Amino acid sequence: MKISSQEQLKRKTKELTALFEISRILSSSFDLKNNLYRALKTISEILDMQRATITLYDHDTNTLQIAVAYGLTDEQIAKGKYSVGEGIVGRVFQTGEPIIVPNIGKEPLFLNRTGARIKKDNISFLCVPLKIGDEVLGVFSVDRIFSSEIDLKEDIRVLNIIATLITQYLKLYQLFNREKTEREKLTLELKKRYSLRNVIGISDKMQEVFKTALKAAKTKATILLTGESGTGKELIAKAIHFESDRSKGPFIAINCAAIPENLLEAELFGYEKGAFTGALISKPGKFELANGGTIFLDEIGDLPLHLQAKLLRVIQDKTFERIGGTKSIKVDIRIIAATNKDLEEMVKDGSFREDLYFRLNVIPIYLPPLRERKEDIPLLIDHFLKKFNEEYGKNINITKEAMEKLVNYSWPGNVRELENTIERLVILAEGNEITLNDLPFYIRQEDDTRITCVKLKETLPSQLELIEKKAIKEALKACNYNQTKAAKMLGLTKRQINYKIKKYGLM
Ligand SMILES: Nc1ncnc2c1ncn2[C@@H]1O[C@H](COP(=O)(O)OP(=O)(O)OP(=O)(O)O)[C@@H](O)[C@H]1O
Ligand SMILES: [Mg+2]
């Protein structure tokens, strides 16, 4: 058979185009089935192959099964099962060597198991192993319409190159999946240790938190949760409620910082009709509503002094009166309080009652910031990926490099910031994978911009300004650009943060 040099050139160009296209598809993501299908389609279209099939070995059943195919129906694919050594596919797998069948009509070994080939006579079948070192993962095969113009040996050479690309991809996928399975195993193992519903934490620090929380849940003792913003104080409070024997009772949360001071008392204790202008009806307060359950007093550090006194009485006697009422109301409640303020400092400067502090602090639980428990980050990322994939009907994974970068980031807004970041990444993801490039700039660049040492040639004020600017920038990002929250995170007043944002031109 003689092929003109022009024909040869044409053929080479096609081959290169196909190879380039296939490697582009396979390096795009770990969406295994979809990518392999796209690669097979490309092979068929560019290289004029009729059908293309990837058959993989299954260790559990010791059989070969078509995993992906282009040009076969689902029904035909389902029939594509072979024992090791059976038919052409089984033999190529067993020997690790390619087989060319110039005309399948004349080859008794060709089983036509899928029933896809009707006009057997004019079809050639080419089959190469998917091999890496001595390990054969499966078999890659194509159909060609038989023609004397076609050099089948040349075809096998190209198919071997494609098989190498596919095998490397399969191997990488296996490694990637193994890592994911290990993390999932770790999560499962967690269940054998201390666990709280909906709360992720395998680090020693979080395991200590779980241990204390589980013990405390069985009692009625007051709990004080402390820790930076976004560390999971409210989540733990709820988990404790659901672990306790009052789980069927109500869980009532009230944020002492979010309600104006003049309304807070009425919210907490309720009021009688006519107690003040506008009190047209009687209304029970949160303490009454929480009867038989748990009351969660969030941001307790913001409770004004006169209400601190009233709260102390509730804790001591479990009784109080509604505003404008004379009747003592008795309630059965468990109190959980939370704050990210330093209450001890507040006690020292007189803004928080010492006796109340000791009453609340019966069981203190400190939630460590995320940067001090990096082992939890991969599990949290998996947890949030699963959550937002379900919520947005997606199937997004994350690359190892992106995962590492997220683990090393300092997370000033803690788990809340991580959760928001993953949600944003899932919404914005265009492919099926989050890569390094998808990460926000400040996460990618953190290492470069971190101020690691004091530079002696620069003035101290200018360096302090740099640190301040960076801290405000990060806090703003962590709080979704909510200035009030960012100010709180940094221990600044709203006015102070506002002034500095303007000064540094940050928004
Ligand atoms: N360990 C965790 N596992 C899973 N989700 C978590 C965990 N910790 C926090 N989260 C999630 O992070 C978000 C913030 O948590 P939460 O509201 O409990 O923080 P917080 O400490 O009360 O913050 P703030 O002080 O700002 O009120 C929530 O959506 C919560 O579900
Ligand atoms: Mg909270």
Q: pLDDT tens across 448-463, in order?
A: 444 444 555 556 666 6
Query: What percentage of the chain has pLDDT greater than the value 70?
Result: 93
Q: Cα-Cα-Cα-Cα dihedral of 265, 269, 274, 279, to 10°?
A: 60
Q: What is the whole-number distance in angstroms between the Cα of residue 236 and the centre of ligand 2?
A: 10
**Average pLDDT of 232-260?**
95
Q: What is the pLDDT of residue 98?
A: 95
pLDDT at 293 over 50: yes
Cα-based distances in Å from 314 to 310, 353, 361, 477, 486: 7, 15, 15, 39, 33
Average pLDDT, the chain: 88
- DSSP SS3 for 332: coil
- Residue 269 belongs to what H/E stretch? helix 261-269
Nearest residue (by CA) to ligand 1, atom 10, is 232
List phi, psi (to 5°) of 339: -160, 150
Mean pLDDT of 28-34: 83
Inter-residue contact 364 to 233 (CB < 8 Å): no
Cα within 13 Å of Cα(298), Cβ side: 18
Give the up-direction half-sphere exposure of residue 138: CA atoms within 13 A in the CB hemisphere: 25
Q: Pairing state of beta strands 63-70 and 397-398?
A: unpaired
Q: How far is the CA of 230 from the centre of ligand 2 (A)?
A: 7
- Nearest residue (by CA) to ligand 1, atom 8, is 232
Mean pLDDT of 79-98: 94
Other CB atoms within 10 A of residue 473 CB: 18
User: Is the predicted pLDDT of residue 42 greater than 80, yes or no?
Assistant: yes
Looking at residue 393, its pLDDT comes to 94
Which numbered ligand comes closest to the C-alpha of 236?
Answer: 1
Rounded distance between C-alpha atoms, residue 70 and residue 45, angstroms: 10
pLDDT score for 451: 46
Of residues 365, 350, 375, 146, the one with CA closest to residue 240: 365
Per the DSSP assignment, residues forming a β-bridge with 226 are 339, 366
Compute the distance between CA of residue 41 and CA of residue 52 in angstroms, rounded to an integer: 8
Residue 229 Cα to ligand 1 midpoint, Å, equals: 8
In degrees rounded to 5, what are phi and psi of residue 496? -60, -45
Query: Which residue matches tokens 């990488």?
Result: 172
From the alpha carbon of 228, which atom of ligand 1 is closest?
A: 25
> What distance in Å separates the CA atoms of residue 416 and residue 230, rounded to the nearest whole number?
5
Dump strand ranges (E) for 399-494: 433-434
Question: Where are the chain's structural domains?
Answer: 5-177, 204-367, 451-507
497 ligand 1 Cβ < 6 A: no
Nearest-CA residue for atom 15 of ligand 1: 232
Pocket test of ligand 1: the residue of 199, 419, 489 to mutate, having most ligand atoms within 8 Å of its CB, is: 419
Average pLDDT for 235-244: 96
Q: Stretch 187-216: mean pLDDT, rounded? A: 84
Q: How far is the CA of 428 from the centre of ligand 1 (A)?
A: 23
pLDDT at 370: 96
CATH superfamily of 204-367: P-loop containing nucleotide triphosphate hydrolases (3.40.50.300)
129 or 476: which leads in pLDDT: 129
Q: What is the pLDDT of residue 151?
A: 81
Q: CA angle, corner 72, sides to 71 and 74, nearest 5?
A: 140
> Which stretch of DSSP H or E encloses residue 251?
strand 251-255
Q: If you average pLDDT over each of 103-117, 298-312, 475-489, which comes out highest?
A: 298-312
Question: How would residue 192 be classed by pLDDT, with cut points 50, 70 and 90?
Answer: low
In the block, tokens 């639980």 appear at: 365
| Of 481, 479, 452, 477, residue with least CA distance to 467 | 452
Number of residues that this document lists for the chain: 507
User: Does the C-beta of 370 come closer than 6 Å to ligand 1?
Assistant: no
Which among 30, 39, 32, 38 has a CA at the least distance from the CA of 434? 30
Distance (Å) of CA 320 to CA 302, 325, 326: 21, 10, 9
Amino acid at 152: L
Share of the chain above pLDDT 90, in %: 59
Q: Is the pLDDT of residue 354 over 90?
A: yes
Q: What is the DSSP letter of 323?
A: B
Give the number of the ligand closest to the Cα of residue 226: 1
| Fold of the CATH domain 451-507 | Arc Repressor Mutant, subunit A (1.10.10)
Q: What are the tokens at 265?
A: 């008392």
Residue 336 Cβ contacting ligand 1 at under 6 Å: no
For 423, the token pair is 């949600």
Strand partners, 63: 58, 83
Amino acid making up residue 323: I
CA of 255 to the centre of ligand 2 (A): 8
Mean pLDDT of 134-159: 87
The whole-number pLDDT of residue 452 equals: 45
What is the rounded distance in angstroms from the CA atom of residue 485 to the CA atom of residue 472?
Answer: 11
Residue whose entry in the numeric block shows the structure tokens 């024997």: 245
Q: How far is the CA of 296 from the centre of ligand 2 (A)?
A: 10
Superfamily of domain 5-177: GAF domain (3.30.450.40)
Q: Quickly state the pLDDT bin for 120 (edges 50, 70, 90).
A: low
Query: How far is 95 from 180, CA to CA, in rounded Å?
Result: 32
pLDDT at site 149 = 66
Q: Which two tokens stand for residue 100?
A: 């060319």
Residue 213 exposure: Cα atoms within 13 Å on the Cβ side: 30
pLDDT of residue 455: 52
pLDDT of residue 460: 64
Please work out whether the CB of residue 230 comes within 6 Å of at least one atom of ligand 1: yes
- Please, which residues bridge with residue 51 across strands? 143
Residue 252 has pLDDT above 80, yes or no: yes
Q: Which residues pair with 251 in a beta bridge?
A: 294
| pLDDT at residue 1 greater than cutoff 90 | no
Residue with the two structure tokens 């067993």: 94
**What is the band of 146 on the pLDDT scale with cuts at 50, 70, 90?**
confident
Q: Evaluate: CB of 203 within 6 angstroms of ligand 1.
A: no
* Lowest model confidence (mean pLDDT) among 82-86, 104-108, 318-322: 104-108
Alpha helices in 193-230 (DSSP H): 204-217
| pLDDT tens digits along 406-440 | 999 999 999 999 999 999 999 998 889 999 999 98
Taking CA atoms, 65 is separated from 69, 137, 139, in Å, by 11, 11, 10
Same fold, 5-177 and 451-507: no
